[in-house]
Amino acid sequence: MRNRIWLFMLMIMMLIPVSPAASAEILATEYVLSGRNVYSPTVLRTVNGVRRVWFGGWLNPDDRTDIIYMFDEAAPGAWTAPVVVLERPGQLVNDPTVLRHPIYPTWLFMYFTVLIDPNDTSNNQIGFASSIDEGRSWWDHGIIIGRDNGLDQCGAWSPSALVVGSEIWVYFHGNLSAVCSSLQVYRVRLDLNGWQRLATEIVTLPGPATNVDVNSQQGQFVLWANTSGLRAISRYISTDGLTFMGSPGAPVINAGEALINTPHCEVVSNDLCRLWFGFSPSGSVTDFSSIHDWTISAP
């Protein structure tokens, strides 16, 4: 579908204008979940083949604090009720990214954003947790990437993690603050123990990007990110996972005056990605009232 696509949400038909590149085609759309302010979905299949989703935000109007939830696909297009799996009283946690350990497959690792002082949005950091029950419960090991992220004092926000050989690579963007006037994207390389840092590097992109999500497809690294603030999602490719080039026709999705944030690619096949994201029809950062996934062909 190469023209405009209609997205139904909360019984109100909302238009998200889409301009897919010549090499990208949106094949299907799915409305998955509604909530007060929900976003940052990440997906992994359990050992039994069940699609399991973790996401952050607050599900109910009275919560007003960021915590991390989980739900499952009970049947195609049918989802279980979300349950809380990770929270930190007095602090905010969000933006989970989950991977399965390559040597010990019963271990799951989660990296997530932590805001220790909810009033200081210039000091996001990244925490690390592990699970041995397929992500239903988590042991919080604490902060592993702090305000000092290994290169500067810009902190770490919205991680994306994947296994590459004998390492775990965690991508993230920094914070804006008095000492950090522009947003950078970083890559931290970790040992397979999940926490021991090997190196921190700057990721090169054609332009500003936030909320990056990185996966491996067809022998190359594919990075999805918010661009144009939170009003668009673009796709980039790389051979080394450090220097990325834009795909022709980016952005893949342009939300106009609405917001569309925290993309996550659930890899379906070599050229198919099920792209998950949060959607704010009003354009407010506290109004991400639904989570969606769109199947996109991008060879």
What are the chain's domains?
A: 5-297 (2.120.10.10)
Provide the sign of the torsion angle of the four alpha carbons 128, 147, 38, 212, taken in this order.
negative
Mean pLDDT, range 101-115, rounded to an integer: 97
pLDDT tens figures, 113-168: 999 999 898 899 999 999 999 999 999 999 999 999 999 999 999 999 999 999 99
Residues in the chain: 299
Can you tell me which residue has the tokens 């996972």?
A: 241
Closest to 264 measured CA to CA, from 51, 60, 121: 51
Query: Of all residues in the chain, what percent carry a pLDDT higher than 90?
Result: 77
**What is the value of pTM for the model shown?**
0.92
Q: Give the DSSP H/E element, type plus range, for residue 149.
A: none
Q: Do residues 187 and 241 touch, judged by C-beta distance below 8 A?
A: yes
Q: How far is Cα 270 from Cα 250, in angstroms, rounded to an integer?
A: 20
Q: Reduced to 3 states, what is the DSSP secondary structure of residue 56?
A: strand
The string of pLDDT tens digits covering residues 205-226 is 998 899 999 999 989 999 999 9
145 vs 127: CA distance, rounded Å: 7
- Tens of pLDDT along 178-201? 888 888 999 999 999 999 999 999
Mean pLDDT of 89-95: 96
**Local confidence band at 6 (pLDDT 50, 70, 90 cut-offs):** very low
